[in-house]
Amino acid sequence: MTYKQDVSGRNQSASLRRGLALLEYIRDHAGAGQGLSLTRLADATGLSKSAVLRLTTPLVELNLLARDRKNGAYRLGHGALHLGQAYLATFDLRTVAAEESYRLMCEVRETVHLVVYEAPHVVYIDKVEQEPMVRMGSRIGSRAPVHCTAVGKAILAWQGDEVIGDVVAAGLPGRTEWTITDGDRLRLELARIRQRGYSVDDRENEPEVRCVAAPIFDHTDAATAALSISGLTSRITAARVRELGPLVANAALRISREHGSTR
């Protein structure tokens, strides 16, 4: 009896995985206003048509999938939209990013910041640092300009030309002797950031601090937040920046995917 129950449980688990795989395939390949035929789903997944019908039936009943009455094509149903809306309604960036921020701090042994974009500033919403280390002067809830901070530039690099133009037009006040205060130089720097995937604040906001940051994208693939590694220039050397950049970029990407980004 126990053996039969175990077999049944494994079969149900396998069916669930196949059904979810079908759901994901339709999500990724059904174009706007279109659907995928039964034949294409069978060919793409290696399942028989009867198996596809069996696995999609409960998904259709739950409105996670919809099937066209005329041609039988499958597409996402309104139940999928309701699930997405429910997820976004309960989404808290600080909570979602906490594990990645702590893991990154432990890996690099430097302070990690999480910010959100509230034009024309960034707002610090979380900070993870090691107790024995020199503490950064940043405070949760404080604001900083976008043009001279790594987090700000990481977000600004993925904004439209109009937003960047507004930042330049508002003025680029120098915070230190290394702050970029010229609009053309800033645009060139933003292009470099887009190319390499992370930004650097090389003593531009505080004279003895370097920061490396990467953007966090939301479910619309808009850059709305950023994650950074900050430390004294004696610890974060120019050479170490090249090591930290990919680490913070990968951490930010994982958070973005939790946020619903398709990047």
Query: pLDDT digit string (tens) for 201-225?
Result: 999 999 999 999 999 999 899 999 9
List the one residue out of 212, 216, 200 whose CA is nearest residue 251.
216
Q: What is the mean pLDDT of residues 247-262?
A: 94
Backbone angles phi and psi of 214, in degrees to 5: -140, 150
Max avg pLDDT among 23-32, 67-76, 103-112: 103-112
Exposed e or buried b for every residue in 180-218, given b needs 16+ CB within 10 A? beebeebbebbeebeeebbbbbbbbbbeebbbbbbbbbb
Grade residue 123 by pLDDT with cuts at 50, 70 and 90. Answer: very high
What distances in angstroms separate CA 144 from CA 2, 153, 172, one per listed residue? 62, 11, 12
State pLDDT tens for residues 153-191: 999 999 999 999 999 999 999 999 999 999 999 999 999
Residue 214 gets the label, from left (phi > 0), alpha (psi -120 to 50) or beta, of: beta
Q: Which residues contact 157 (CB under 8 A, 6 or more apart)?
A: 190, 191, 193, 194, 199, 215, 223
Q: Per the confidence metrics, is the pTM higher than 0.85? A: no
Structure tokens at 44: 């793409």
Q: Return the minimum-mean-pLDDT range out of 66-70, 162-166, 238-242.
A: 66-70
Q: What is the C-alpha R_g of the chain?
A: 24
Contacting residues for 99 by C-beta, under 8 A, at least 6 apart: none
**CA separation for the pair 240, 254 (Å, rounded):** 22
Q: Among candidates 246, 247, 221, 245, which has minimal Cα distance to 158?
A: 221
Report how far apart, in Å, the C-alpha atoms of 255 and of each of 1, 46, 111, 114, 196 are. Answer: 44, 32, 18, 11, 18
User: Which DSSP state fits 118?
Assistant: E
Give the per-residue pLDDT at 7: 40
Q: Is the pLDDT of residue 90 over 80?
A: no
